[in-house]
Structures are given as structure tokens and as C-alpha cells.
Amino acid sequence: MLVYAVVMLRIHDRSWCQEYVANVPGIVRTYGGHYLAVGTHVIVEEGDCIAPDQIAILTFPSLSNLEACLSSDEYAPYKASRMGKANTEILAFETIRSRQHDAG
């Protein structure tokens, strides 16, 4: 079942960003993942949460693909370079409805 991942970052030190952006998308593709959108001008339209500095939305063919990517040896050094330099929250969900479902 298709999985969406929403990655929210509050960045304190950008020293890791260039290498991360250059290498992580290829690792994501290895696990069947695709970036749908990445944005840096994030505003809170409703609620009390703190807007992240950056947000990304990805898809994966399954939750196990996402989890395998995040725990992979290939991704580990990039995750380590991000840790402590950004607060990161990753939300994942399996689809129960999609645009195709609504159109049908």
C-alpha cells in the first residue's frame, strides 16, 4: 500500500545540507521512494505547531520500504550528519483514499 512521508526540519546548522541533498535522493530511489515536493516557505494556516524551516513530502511503495531506507547503511552517515544540526520530525501514513479514489 502506498505510503506518504512528511519530513519537517528546523535547521540550526546548515553544514550538512549540501552533501545530504546531493546524495540522499539517490538512496531514497533505491528503496522505491520519490520526492513529491520540497519547500522552504512554510506557514502555519491553522493550529499551534511551529512552522519548520523546510518540509518534504515523499512516497514509498510500502511502510517497509520507508523503514528499510531510514535504517539502511547507505543512509546512516547522512542521518548522522543531520542529527544535532536539525530537529527533524517524520510522519508516515498509508493511504486509505487517494485522488484517484475520489475521482472514480
Domain hosting residue 20, numbered range = 3-103
| Statement: the pTM of the whole predicted model exceeds 0.85 | yes
| pLDDT for position 48 | 93
Judge whether residue 101 has pLDDT over 90.
no
| pLDDT for position 64 | 97
- 1-48 pLDDT, tens digit per residue, is 899 999 999 999 999 999 999 999 999 999 999 999 999 999 999 999
The domain spanning residue 17 has which CATH number? 3.30.70.100
Q: Residue 4, Cα to own-chain centre: how many angstroms?
A: 9
Domain count, the chain: 1
| pLDDT for position 100 | 53
Measuring CA to CA, how many Å separate 5 from each of 2, 12, 33, 38?
10, 22, 10, 12
| pLDDT for position 99 | 62
59 closest CA partner among 86, 102, 25, 88: 25
- Distance, in Å, from the CA atom of 29 to the CA atom of 69, rounded to the nearest integer, reads 9
28 closest CA partner among 1, 3, 54: 3
H/E stretch holding 67: helix 63-70
- 42-77 pLDDT, tens digit per residue, is 999 999 989 999 999 999 999 999 999 999 999 999
